[in-house]
C-alpha cells in the first residue's frame, strides 16, 4: 500500500533512551465518580494511545469499526505532562482485565492518570477522567495491573534510582499508594528499565532492564506487597518488551541479538530458560504480544519495519514461524491485540501511524487499515 511521507527511522539511541530530566510530583486531583457499566452490557473494541506531549499529555481514543478501520473518538487530557520523547518502554498504558479502567503514565510530571472506559449506549464520552497521582518515583514508563492491584515502574534518572511502587485501584477509579511498597531495581545506577508486568496468577512481577541485561522478579503477597528483587542475567542482551502466556511462560525480546527468549518462572520468581535467543533474522525486536490464547507470539522489529511470528509450544518453547509475518510503516514499536485475537495493531513511531492487521487462524497477519497523522511524540498502545 502507498503510505504518506514518513519521518526518519527511530535511532538506536532513541530506542535505548535511559536518562531524562524529571519533573516535580503532583497531588491527586479530585473529580466526580464515573458512570458504571449498566448490567448486561460491555464495551466494544477500542484502541488507545497517548500524545506524550511535554506541555499537556492526552489519550487518543479510537473505536474499531467493522472491517478493522479505526474511527477517532477524540482526545482526552490526562491533566499531567508527557516526556515529549521516546520512553523506550512497553506498557505505558494499561487496561484492567474487565476493560473498565485505563491507566496512563505522565512521564514528564511523574504521575499516573486514570480514566473510566464508558459503556456503549451511554450519553457519555468514551473516557471519563477520574484521578491523577504521583507515580512513587521519577519517570514512570510502564504499568502492571492485576485485579485492583497496580504497580508502576519508574525508570529514575542520573540522580534518582529507578524503582517499582504499588497502588490499589478503587471501584470509583481512585489510586491509593501502598505505603512502604516501593522497591529498588537491580542497582541504584541507571538500568534503562523497559516494562513491568504481573504473571497471570498475580503472584510474581517481572521487570526488564535494558542497560544491565537483567530481568528482575518480585514475589507478591496476598496483601499486595511485593518482595525482592531477584535479579537474573537475561539469556540475550538488551531484554526489552515481554509478555506472559496464559499458562505463565515468559517471552522476552532480546533487542541486542534480534531474538526472543522464553522462560519458566517459579513461585519464588526464579527463572529457567526454555528457549534461548531464538533469532528472528530482523533488527531491534523490542515489543511482544500473544494471540490465539498464547499459541503465537509476535514481535515488532523497529529497525526492519516488520513483524515476526513465533509458534509457542505448551511448554513455552519458541519456533520462528515467519521472520517477516508482515511489513509495517517506519519504525514499528508498540503493539496490541484485541479481545478474541481478531486484530493485531502496531504503532509505527517513524511514520506516526497505527496499522491494523486481521489475525488468521494459523497466526497469519493481513493488513486491513492504517490510520495516519498521529503526533510525532505519540507513545504506547492498548486495545480490547
Judging by DSSP bridges, how do beta strands 285-291 and 204-209 pair with one another?
A: unpaired
**Total of domains in the chain:** 1
Sign of CA dihedral 64, 67, 69, 72: negative
281 within a domain of the structure (yes/no):
yes
Q: What's the CATH number where 178 sits?
A: 2.130.10.10
Question: Residue 121's pLDDT is what?
Answer: 55
287 within a domain of the structure (yes/no):
yes
Nearest Cα neighbor of 182 from 159, 152, 156 is: 152
CB contact set of 32 (below 8 Å; sequence gap of 6+): none
Biggest CA–CA distance in the chain, Å, is: 53
328 within a domain of the structure (yes/no):
yes
Rounded-to-integer distance, Cα 166 and Cα 170, Å: 13
6 within a domain of the structure (yes/no):
no
HEC states along the chain? CCCCCCCCCCCHHHHCCCCCCCCCCCCCCCCCCCCCCCCCCCCCCEEEEECCCCCCCEEEEEEECCCCCEEEEEEEECCCCCCCCCCCCCCCEEECCCCCEEEEEECCCCEEEEEEECCCCCCCCCEEEEEEEECCCCCEEEEEEECCEEEEEECCCCCCCCEEEEEEECCCCCEEECCCCCEECCCCCCCCEEEEEECCCCCEEEEEECCCCEEEEEEECCCCCEEEEEEEECCCCCEEEEEECCCCCEEEEECCCCEEEEEEECCCCCEEEEEEEEECCCCCEEEEEEEHHHCEEEEEECCCCEEEEEEECCCCCEEEEEEEEEECCCCEEEEEECHHHCEEEEEECCCCEEEEEEECCCCCEEEEEEECCCCCCCEEEEEC
Question: Residue 62's pLDDT is what?
Answer: 94
4 within a domain of the structure (yes/no):
no
Task: Give the domain range for residue 290.
Answer: 12-33+44-383
169 within a domain of the structure (yes/no):
yes
Q: Give me the residues of the chain with pLDDT under 70, please.
A: 1-43, 120-123
What cell was used for 328? Answer: 509495517
Rounded-to-integer distance, Cα 199 and Cα 366, Å: 30
pLDDT digits (tens, 9 = 90+) for 120-160: 556 689 999 999 999 999 999 999 999 999 999 999 999 99
Question: Residue 361's pLDDT is what?
Answer: 84
Judging by DSSP bridges, how do beta strands 365-371 and 353-359 pair with one another?
A: antiparallel
**Contact criterion met (CB below 8 Å) for 270 and 203:** no
Rounded-to-integer distance, Cα 286 and Cα 88, Å: 9
5 within a domain of the structure (yes/no):
no
Question: Residue 119's pLDDT is what?
Answer: 75
* 86-103 burial code (b ≥16 CB/10 A, e <16): bbbbbbbbbbbeebbbbb
129 within a domain of the structure (yes/no):
yes
pTM of this structure: 0.89
Amino acid at each position: 500500500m502507498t503510505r504518506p511521507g514518513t519521518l526518519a527511522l527511530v535511532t538506536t539511541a532513541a530506542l535505548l533512551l535511559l536518562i531524562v530530566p524529571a519533573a516535580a510530583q503532583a497531588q491527586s486531583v479530585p473529580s466526580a465518580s464515573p458512570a458504571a457499566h449498566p448490567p448486561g452490557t460491555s464495551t466494544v473494541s477500542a484502541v488507545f494511545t497517548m500524545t506524550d506531549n511535554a506541555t499537556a499529555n492526552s489519550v487518543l481514543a479510537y473505536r474499531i469499526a467493522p472491517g478493522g478501520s479505526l474511527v477517532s473518538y477524540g482526545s482526552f487530557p490526562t491533566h499531567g505532562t508527557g516526556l515529549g520523547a521516546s520512553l523506550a518502554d512497553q506498557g505505558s498504558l494499561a487496561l484492567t482485565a474487565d476493560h473498565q479502567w485505563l491507566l496512563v503514565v505522565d512521564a514528564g510530571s511523574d504521575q499516573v492518570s486514570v480514566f473510566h472506559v464508558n459503556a456503549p449506549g451511554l450519553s457519555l464520552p468514551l473516557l471519563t477522567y477520574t484521578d491523577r497521582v504521583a507515580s512513587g518515583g521519577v519517570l514512570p514508563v510502564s504499568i502492571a495491573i492485576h485485579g485492583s492491584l497496580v504497580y508502576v515502574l519508574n525508570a529514575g534518572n542520573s540522580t534518582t534510582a529507578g524503582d517499582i511502587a504499588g497502588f490499589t485501584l478503587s471501584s470509583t477509579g481512585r489510586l491509593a499508594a501502598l505505603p512502604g511498597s516501593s522497591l529498588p531495581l537491580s542497582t541504584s545506577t541507571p538500568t534503562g528499565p523497559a516494562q513491568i508486568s504481573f504473571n497471570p496468577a498475580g503472584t510474581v512481577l517481572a521487570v526488564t532492564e535494558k542497560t544491565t541485561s537483567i530481568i528482575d522478579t518480585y514475589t507478591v503477597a496476598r496483601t499486595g506487597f511485593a518482595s525482592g528483587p531477584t535479579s537474573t542475567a537475561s539469556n540475550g542482551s538488551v531484554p526489552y518488551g515481554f509478555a506472559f502466556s496464559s499458562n505463565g511462560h515468559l517471552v522476552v525480546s532480546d533487542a541486542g541479538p534480534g531474538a526472543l527468549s522464553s522462560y519458566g518462572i517459579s513461585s519464588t520468581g526464579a527463572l529457567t530458560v526454555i528457549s534461548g535467543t531464538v533469532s528472528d533474522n530482523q533488527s531491534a525486536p523490542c515489543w511482544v504480544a500473544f494471540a490465539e490464547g498464547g499459541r503465537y507470539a509476535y514481535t515488532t522489529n523497529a529497525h526492519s519495519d516488520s513483524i515476526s511470528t513465533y509458534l509457542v509450544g505448551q511448554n513455552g518453547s519458541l519456533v520462528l514461524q515467519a521472520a517477516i509475518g508482515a511489513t509495517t510503516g517506519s519504525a514499528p514499536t508498540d503493539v496490541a491485540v484485541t479481545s478474541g485475537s481478531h486484530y493485531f495493531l502496531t504503532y509505527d513511531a517513524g511514520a506516526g501511524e497505527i496499522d491494523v492487521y486481521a489475525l488468521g487462524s494459523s497466526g497469519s497477519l493481513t493488513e486491513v487499515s492504517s490510520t495516519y497523522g498521529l503526533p510525532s511524540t505519540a507513545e504506547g498502545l492498548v486495545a480490547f
